[in-house]
Chains A and B, each alone.
Chain A
């Protein structure tokens, strides 16, 4: 390959990260998880690498996407929100607290992705049926199979959010 093949398309770009304006020098081949790692944010993780497990869930302009399937440069000028934003005031979000209270995780590697997606679910549908929860979360995998507890945590979070 030609000597600068990896350097093609590298650029400096600005975007908003968890409410803060930031800039980064971004190789064209980075995905969004790589970019977040560059900011020492590790809550979004590349696991399956094909958008199937949900470990890399990130919000871009308020829309959930798989960080591992999002080229980093495509978030230029956009607002990126990660799981680290949820307890920015020092207290766990309602969804996070529900996960703690219902013991809805084991190894914890998939947990931030679930927390993010449950947050999105409850924004769209504050009172989901169990089947709606299962369907919405079908793109998040938990190898420890903590699904029964996650379902309970969603119910608890939904009820607390409704007050």
Chain B
């Protein structure tokens, strides 16, 4: 019987801790005897290491030790890690593959001493030809890795091959219908190239990990989104049983994908074991830029259309700039790759999607997991097509969008994916058919819409435990990491709903792999659905055990207020514990290697729509978003207020990635790795009018009808803005970011 815990805007459990500055972050943590590490990094993009001179650094007073890759190799014979390929050395071995790659590390009691000593390390390299661009990487003679070693960790990446002499880490292909014939028969064929730039997540809590060697094992306190993976990967590297590695994660000062899989943990683990001391590595903001980025991409999209605007064929070639180490890039390439044709019903489709190695900092997951790059291209192109054919931009989408009964390109049906409803809602909120003031003089106005969709990561597993103490109080143990998305609060609401208690009374145990059970990771908007089900199952298991206990002690039933009396009746005192456990793994059918088809590629789809109104200064190219509308299909919200902050937060972050952020690279060197020159949105960059809209839908197989929302509002921002700008000033931007100078140049070219 519903008791109103789910669907209620429960304030975050950690509210008081966060506003007082007392919330626990790894950043705050120190332990007795701890040494601080500072990383010495490569200054060349691709080179063979000839020598590393650490003598001056070692001689500096206060320096405990200086270690290089060769020291790591004495502890771990094959010190390479990664979720898709075991390609990333703990410290560079033999070669360096990007500017900023860790080459050596200094340990000292005083972090300033470690930093000063790191400046006294000198390395000599034989420089090798480097490859920077993703297109160039397809054919380049410069090969980043001589040999590729697939990790074989995840079922969806089991097909990865070991390859030689190529920069292609993964290629994904899909073919449906007869695209060649359809293009030949089409009334119009459009071909475009859209590009996105490298950007960084810049969580305000820079990456930080602390490893403490303990008798027979190791505890790693780390700002990670994936404690279970850190545990298994560090154990694998060390050749240990998993239970010797304990990974603890308190709150995260932002993640956005930057803190996934394994980042600093392998290094701190190895150094702690070699030095037999606790060691902590706290990156600076600058160093984050050398650690993980978002894939730059090139998307060549070719579309055949009949004269009414119906899309008949589409060819998608997507090239992902993965940087020097694959990280999770292959999964981005595949999972996002199969949605490249967009949420459109197209009979004839071909997709090629390539994860490419280059000599840039590694690229990995970033809020949206590749989807914003794709939506940028397919939603921009459909606007071009509408303009060319003289069709309304909403009408052409309406004509082509998938229905919920239609199969997506892979063959998986669009169950509970209300793409059309999202579009109609955006259009209604914008009063699309109403009059619109397009401005005058040097200020011109425009508006645009865009709709995108995403599959969840599959197949993945979540496990949760719900513990009921003898006084009736409940704890939830799970390895979902609360990095600001409010997962601890939302999942406590599920426990409360099932057990008939208040969400505020459920304690949530932060991830600690000795205590909290396995979870694949906190990523890709998967937690609400996957962990939500696991938590529901765990709570239901606890409830069943409480039912049994009630039976044992001769009660007809129980409620949230009478739990303690059951224990008292059974054990004669306040004693005993009930533990409910839940494991959830959705079904999955892996794509056919020949066709790329699968009728069950994802447990659920997420749909996001964006509407933007913009003002452009025609003399300077400065664009200002005056209204930003985000419509999210997220099922029934577990906590509407938190969901709203996720919608506007995701959209506004994407505004930054669309208009401001751009990692500048010069010969592989990031030249703006600081907030002085890498600008993220501040208060003045935020549109004055922001509308969040939760589409009234239900994910029928989701926990209490819910599904994830962390990425939904990011999808459509860039193309909706480009569309609005096009209406305002008649120019079409095809590469991100959309800067004033770029717009000004395009306007000049147009008038010339």
The chain A residues found within 8 Å of chain B, CB to CB, are: 1, 3-6, 27, 29-30, 41-45, 47-50, 52-53, 55, 82-84, 86-87, 92, 96, 99-101, 103, 105-112, 115, 130, 133-135, 137-151
Q: What are the interface flags for B683-711 relative to A under an 8 Å C-beta threshold, 1 for contact and 0 otherwise? A: 11010101000000000000000000000
Establish whether residues B19 and A115, one from each chain, have CB atoms under 8 Å apart when the complex forms.
yes
Q: Which residues of chain A are within 8 angstroms of B674 by Cβ–Cβ distance?
A: 48-50
Interface of A is mostly: loop
Say whether, besides A48-B285, A49-B284, A6 and B25 are in contact (CB < 8 Å).
no
Q: Which residues of chain B are within 8 angstroms of A144 by Cβ–Cβ distance?
A: 254, 484, 645, 649, 653
Task: Let me know if B138 is at the binding interface, CB within 8 A.
Answer: no
Most chain-A CB neighbours within 10 Å: which of B22, B27, B253, B684?
A: B253
Establish whether residues B203 and A141, one from each chain, have CB atoms under 8 Å apart when the complex forms.
no
A108 to B675, CA, bound (A): 19
Minimum C-beta distance from B212 to chain A (A): 19
A109 to B690, CA, bound (A): 23
Minimum C-beta distance from B34 to chain A (A): 13
Q: Which residues of chain A are within 8 angstroms of B210 by Cβ–Cβ distance?
A: none
A82 to B21, CA, bound (A): 9
Task: Let me know if B60 is at the binding interface, CB within 8 A.
Answer: yes
Establish whether residues B205 and A6, one from each chain, have CB atoms under 8 Å apart when the complex forms.
no
> Which listed residue, B62, B206, B256, B683, touches A147 by the CB 8 Å rule?
B683
27 contacts between A and B (CB under 8 A): A1-B60, A41-B21, A45-B204, A47-B253, A48-B674, A50-B285, A50-B674, A82-B21, A103-B9, A103-B641, A106-B485, A107-B203, A108-B18, A108-B23, A108-B253, A109-B25, A109-B254, A112-B19, A135-B683, A138-B684, A141-B675, A143-B204, A145-B648, A145-B653, A145-B686, A147-B681, A147-B686
Task: Let me know if B584 is at the binding interface, CB within 8 A.
Answer: no
Establish whether residues B204 and A107, one from each chain, have CB atoms under 8 Å apart when the complex forms.
yes
Task: Let me know if B575 is at the binding interface, CB within 8 A.
Answer: no
Q: Give the residue name and chain of the B residue nearest to A45 (CB).
A: B27
Establish whether residues B649 and A92, one from each chain, have CB atoms under 8 Å apart when the complex forms.
no
- Chain A binder among B110-118, B155-163, B466-474, B587-595: B110-118
Q: Which residues of chain A are within 8 angstroms of B284 by Cβ–Cβ distance?
A: 49
> Which listed residue, B19, B28, B205, B688, touches A47 by the CB 8 Å rule?
B205
Chain B residues 637 to 658 lying within 8 A of chain A, measured CB to CB, are 641-642, 645, 648-649, 651-653, 656
> Which listed residue, B18, B62, B255, B682, touches A6 by the CB 8 Å rule?
B62
A87 to B19, CA, bound (A): 10
Say whether, besides A50-B674, A55-B204, A145-B652, A105 and B18 are in contact (CB < 8 Å).
yes
Establish whether residues B683 and A5, one from each chain, have CB atoms under 8 Å apart when the complex forms.
no
Further pairs besides A3-B61, A41-B21: 6, Cβ < 8 Å: A100-B19, A101-B11, A109-B204, A138-B684, A141-B680, A146-B645
Task: Let me know if B751 is at the binding interface, CB within 8 A.
Answer: no
Establish whether residues B252 and A47, one from each chain, have CB atoms under 8 Å apart when the complex forms.
no
Establish whether residues A84 and B20, one from each chain, have CB atoms under 8 Å apart when the complex forms.
yes
Establish whether residues B20 and A92, one from each chain, have CB atoms under 8 Å apart when the complex forms.
yes
Establish whether residues B19 and A99, one from each chain, have CB atoms under 8 Å apart when the complex forms.
yes
Q: What are the interface flags for B74-106 relative to A under an 8 Å C-beta threshold, 1 for contact and 0 otherwise? A: 000000000000000000000000000000000
Q: Give the residue name and chain of the B residue nearest to A151 (CB).
A: B683
Establish whether residues B113 and A106, one from each chain, have CB atoms under 8 Å apart when the complex forms.
no
Minimum C-beta distance from A138 to chain B (A): 5
> Which listed residue, A1, A27, A43, A141, touches B682 by the CB 8 Å rule?
A141
A142 to B254, CA, bound (A): 10
Establish whether residues A1 and B20, one from each chain, have CB atoms under 8 Å apart when the complex forms.
no
Establish whether residues A1 and B19, one from each chain, have CB atoms under 8 Å apart when the complex forms.
no
Establish whether residues B205 and A109, one from each chain, have CB atoms under 8 Å apart when the complex forms.
yes
Establish whether residues A138 and B202, one from each chain, have CB atoms under 8 Å apart when the complex forms.
no
A140 to B14, CA, bound (A): 21
Minimum C-beta distance from B506 to chain A (A): 18
Say whether, besides A100-B16, A141-B680, A84 and B21 are in contact (CB < 8 Å).
yes
Establish whether residues B645 and A149, one from each chain, have CB atoms under 8 Å apart when the complex forms.
yes
- Using a Cβ–Cβ cut-off of 8 Å, how many residues does chain B contribute to the interface with A? 63
Establish whether residues A106 and B116, one from each chain, have CB atoms under 8 Å apart when the complex forms.
no
Say whether, besides A42-B21, A141-B680, A1 and B11 are in contact (CB < 8 Å).
no
Most chain-B CB neighbours within 10 Å: which of A1, A42, A106?
A: A106
* The 8 A-B residue pairs with the shortest CB-CB distance in the complex, in nearest-first order: A43-B21, A109-B253, A107-B484, A108-B18, A106-B484, A145-B652, A112-B21, A42-B28
Q: Which residues of chain B are within 8 angstroms of A105 by Cβ–Cβ distance?
A: 18-19, 484
Q: Which residues of chain B are within 8 angstroms of A133 by Cβ–Cβ distance?
A: 683
Establish whether residues B112 and A47, one from each chain, have CB atoms under 8 Å apart when the complex forms.
no
Minimum C-beta distance from B714 to chain A (A): 11
Minimum C-beta distance from A12 to chain B (A): 17
Establish whether residues A107 and B19, one from each chain, have CB atoms under 8 Å apart when the complex forms.
no
> Which listed residue, A1, A55, A107, A148, touches B120 by the CB 8 Å rule?
A1
> Which listed residue, B22, B27, B120, B645, touches A106 by the CB 8 Å rule?
B645
Q: Which residues of chain A are within 8 angstroms of B18 by Cβ–Cβ distance?
A: 105, 108, 111
Task: Let me know if B12 is at the binding interface, CB within 8 A.
Answer: yes
A115 to B651, CA, bound (A): 24
Q: Which residues of chain B are within 8 angstroms of A99 by Cβ–Cβ distance?
A: 19
Establish whether residues A84 and B22, one from each chain, have CB atoms under 8 Å apart when the complex forms.
yes
Task: Let me know if B215 is at the binding interface, CB within 8 A.
Answer: no
Establish whether residues A47 and B206, one from each chain, have CB atoms under 8 Å apart when the complex forms.
yes
Chain B residues 282 to 307 lying within 8 A of chain A, measured CB to CB, are 284-286
Q: Give the residue name and chain of the A residue nearest to B19 (CB).
A: A96
Establish whether residues A145 and B681, one from each chain, have CB atoms under 8 Å apart when the complex forms.
yes
Task: Let me know if B486 is at the binding interface, CB within 8 A.
Answer: yes
Q: Give the residue name and chain of the B residue nearest to A115 (CB).
A: B19
A131 to B642, CA, bound (A): 25
Minimum C-beta distance from A68 to chain B (A): 10
Q: Give the residue name and chain of the B residue nearest to A82 (CB).
A: B21
> Which listed residue, A1, A30, A137, A149, touches B683 by the CB 8 Å rule?
A137
Establish whether residues B21 and A29, one from each chain, have CB atoms under 8 Å apart when the complex forms.
no
Establish whether residues A100 and B653, one from each chain, have CB atoms under 8 Å apart when the complex forms.
no
Minimum C-beta distance from A73 to chain B (A): 14
Say whether, besides A103-B11, A108-B251, A42 and B27 are in contact (CB < 8 Å).
yes
Establish whether residues A53 and B675, one from each chain, have CB atoms under 8 Å apart when the complex forms.
yes
Task: Let me know if B440 is at the binding interface, CB within 8 A.
Answer: no
Q: Which residues of chain A are within 8 angstroms of B457 by Cβ–Cβ distance?
A: none
